[in-house]
Amino acid sequence: MRLTKGVDIRTVGSGNIGASNVWRTYGMRYGLPVMLLDITKGFAPALAATLVDGHLAGVLAGAAAMAGHARPVYLGFAKGGKMVATTGGAFLGAAAPVGLIGAAGWILVFLATRYASVASVVAAGSLPAIAYGLGYGWPVIGFGAAAGIGVLVLHRANLRRLVAGTESRFQLRGRRSPGGGSGGGTTVRAGPSSARMR
């Protein structure tokens, strides 16, 4: 965002560097490319490692990408993204059917609730059951369980706001991005609460 907007994304919205905060702050024009990059970040290494050496190597590569997204080396291991999109990409690379079903679950829960945090926790939490149901071995099932726990931990603040009734829902409305200028395309506007989000 420094190159295109002259703004450090860590200083706006929730302060999160992931796609959700970019989308909320600047709209789909910027949020969608960031989401695709986050997905690719998990997909590419997981797919390459799976093709070369099997599922165990694939999930280890995906896990490394997720950890790097959550605590980036280039930020001095400071807070990064909440690794939802990167998790999805890692599963698409290592076990595509699991990733596709998990993504479908995320979309359904999001459409039903408009809470990205709820959709993320539910979808990630379902991954080990999906992997088991599809007959995958312990590396993919264990990876699903670890990913679910990781996403849950990174969303603990969101869950506290849900309990308190202050978590904001996504609402698809047009608005101008901070600092002027159009966010581009369909943008996301905060719901009734001004609480910090993902």
pLDDT of the residue at 30: 80
pLDDT of the residue at 189: 43
Of 192, 189, 188, 190, nearest in space to 164 by CA: 192
This prediction's pTM: 0.75
**pLDDT score at 167:** 81
CA distance 190 to 184: 16
Cα–Cα distances in angstroms (integers) from residue 2 to residues 11, 53, 153, 164, 182, in the given order: 11, 38, 29, 34, 16
- Domains of the chain, by residue range, sit at 2-167
Check residue 77 and give its pLDDT: 56
| pLDDT tens for the chain, residues 1 to 198 | 444 555 666 666 666 676 777 777 776 788 788 889 999 999 999 999 999 999 999 999 999 999 988 887 766 656 777 889 999 999 999 999 999 999 999 999 999 998 888 999 999 999 999 999 999 999 999 999 999 999 999 888 889 989 998 887 876 554 444 444 444 444 444 444 434 434
The Cβ of residue 61 has, within 10 Å, a number of other Cβ atoms equal to 23
Check: CB of residue 21 under 8 Å from CB of residue 37: no
Among 12, 40, 38, which Cα is nearest to 26's?
Answer: 12
**CB count in 10 Å sphere of residue 135:** 9
